[in-house]
Structure 1
């Protein structure tokens, strides 16, 4: 089982790195756009499209598995903290299973939408520039699918008695 843990951790960290790189690229792109716009009166073509359709989608969806792997999603434990540990564990497992179902559905429907966008060659026109946006659609099924995988593995480990929560 340690190989699977290692692989899931590796993939989770790799996609978190992609999300981090998207943040850095977005900052550089927007900064250059501002510099070019106000100092040279020549804004970078496609900045709004790139930020909206590429960077933000990567930042929001791709690192989901990394956050889940570290059990770092936002949670409010006002009532559950007062419950017995066995009930807390059962509720945690139930929420993980429900979240897994939602993420699997999001991955499936997101994959359909991404394939349709790719077939259509979906693009945005900004100024004189046409920017393909369909590749960014694949970030949604990738992020949701990886989070589903992490949740499945965590649920499996919980059921088998070797809980993996960190």
Structure 2
């Protein structure tokens, strides 16, 4: 189970690096477009389309599993903190399972939408240029699918009691509080 967690952590890191690369490429293309437009009146064709249909989609959706791996999703813990440790683990497990099912359902539906866009070779025309946008439709199911896998992995670890390989910290025995990686998402 630990090896699977390490593999998932590596895949999450790789998807995050692709997202980071997209941010850098987006910045470079926008700066080059503005400079070329203002200096020699020759902007890069279809920059707005490429930015909105590729870079922004990759930046927003591909690294979505990172926030779950780092336990950085927003959570409201007003009532949760008053539960016993056993109830906290139970509630967290249910939240992980339901969240995984929802994210997996979204990924499933988006996958078929991406296949439809591929079948019709979805594209956009701008200034006489034909830009294929169907590849960007596959980013969303990949991002949500990876998110669902991380959630399912967390649920499986909580049910089996086996150590996770995602990089969580162990439970602090002195304070009897769950580590940050076990708080609800």
Aligned residues: 166
Q: Which has the higher helix share?
A: 1
Shift of 1:78: 3.0
CA contact (8 A) 2:2 2:163 kept: no
TM-score normalised by the chain length of structure 2: 0.84
Q: 1:90-109 residue pairs with structure 2 within 5 A?
A: 90-109=90-109
Shift of 1:15: 0.6
1:88–1:32 Cα change, 3 Å: same
Quote the residue 2:60 is aligned against: 60
Quote the residue 1:126 is aligned against: 126
Structure number with greater Rg is 2
SS at match of 1:130: strand
CA RMSD, 1 decimal? 1.5
SS at match of 1:73: coil
TM-score normalised by the chain length of structure 1: 0.93
1:93–1:39 Cα change, 3 Å: same
Quote the residue 2:143 is aligned against: 143
Distance 1:121 1:108 in 2: 20
> Which ranges of structure 1 fall in alignment gaps of 5 or more residues?
none
Q: 1:10-159 residue pairs with structure 2 within 5 A?
A: 10-159=10-159
CA contact (8 A) 1:61 1:140 kept: yes
